[in-house]
Amino acid sequence: MKIGIIGAGAVGSILARELNKLPENEFQLTVMARTARNGFTVLEDGIKIFHDIPVHDILSVKDTFDVLFIATKTPALLTLKETIKNMTHGNSEIIYALNGVGYDDMFVQGIPSVVYVSGQQHDEYIEHFVNQKIILPDQSFTYLDRLIQIIENDESIHFDLVKDKHFEQVRYEKLLINVGINSVTALSKNTAKIFEDDSMVRLTRTLLKESIDIVNKNSQTVYISPDFIDYAMEMYMSYPREMGTSMYYDVMANRTTEYQYIQGFVYNLKTDDHPPTPVLDTVVTLLSGYEKL
């Protein structure tokens, strides 16, 4: 089975580190990114380890993959469309290991996933905070089922690749978690410490409430309980005060963000007759202004 991973940021590196332990006779792993290198360094629990897993320049790879994880920033999907088409076949399983929602139709072989890997990309290494988990929809797969089986039974591989019966629910919950904390950290250019202030907690709760109402009114498959707001806020307040979010790190580095697939996706679910959502509108407009060239 030929497995490809596109992207050697936090998600791609952690996934590569674990899948590299698969038996070589059955699995061939290729890690790809914009620039080739001999491997990558992961900082975890205070220890930096270099993993000599080669990262290939994606444009130099001529292979065809049975399983392909796309672990890039979401906006890169569009740029990579042709490249990915050329490295897959009709039965390939292309896993979107991406933030946000709204790109499922990019490839007919595309499979959505919910990724839980908290990390930060530094210049010289990847810092891994918590979680190494990818959740998939509960369906049969040609290749992934075998991969899931092996990972489950190989105690040396520390990665949860699992199916979830309530996949859509899990997906929207992750999306809403991101809408809340990514918005306020990116726009205030500050870390989880901002939740120490009541006004920020109130603002984030309002943003979550507006977003949940949109999801509940417009999704056929998902219902988010109002209690989810408490759950999300407790999660945010449990984070280390200096911990940022992917969108915070993007803004601090003056990089493009994934807002179109996170806040923008929820915003675009709205129907014309939806009640006012002034906080979400403000957030989306400011994040859109940030991108303007």
The token pair at 234 is 């407790």
Which single residue is written with the structure tokens 């990847």?
126
Residue 237 CB, shortest distance to a second copy, in Å, is: 14
- 240 contributes a contact to a second copy by CB under 8 A: no
Binding mask 158-197 for a second copy (x = CB under 8 A): --------------------------x--xxxx--xx-xx
Beta strands in 40-125 (DSSP E): 40-44, 47-51, 55-57, 65-70, 88-96, 110-112, 114-121
DSSP 139-185: S--SSHHHHHHHHHH-TT---EEEEETTHHHHHHHHHHHHHHHHHHH
Q: Which residue, 79 or 285, is less far from a second copy as judged by CB?
A: 285
Q: How far apart are CA 183 and CA 102, in angstroms?
A: 18
Residue 10: how many CB atoms within 10 A of its CB?
Answer: 23
Q: Choose one: 47-55, 168-176, 200-208, 217-225; the region binding a second copy (CB under 8 A).
A: 200-208
Please state the closest distance from residue 96 (CB atom) to a second copy, in A.
27
Residue 120 phi, psi dihedral angles, 5° rounding:
-140, 135
- Judged by beta carbon, residue 62 or residue 292, the one nearer a second copy is 292
Choice from 98, 157, 177, 251 touching a second copy (CB under 8 A): 251
- Asked if 76 touches a second copy (CB under 8 A), the answer is no
- Tell which one of 1, 43, 106, 200 touches a second copy (CB under 8 A): 200
Give the residue with the Cβ less far from a second copy, 118 or 277. 277
Strand partners, 96: 70, 112
Asked if 287 interacts with a second copy (CB under 8 A), we say yes
Residue 122 buriedness (CB in 10 A; 0-12 / 13-18 / 19+)? exposed
Cβ proximity to a second copy: between 138 and 197 the closer is: 197
| Binding residues for a second copy (CB under 8 A) | 184, 187-190, 193-194, 196-197, 199-200, 202-203, 206, 251, 254, 278-279, 281-290, 292
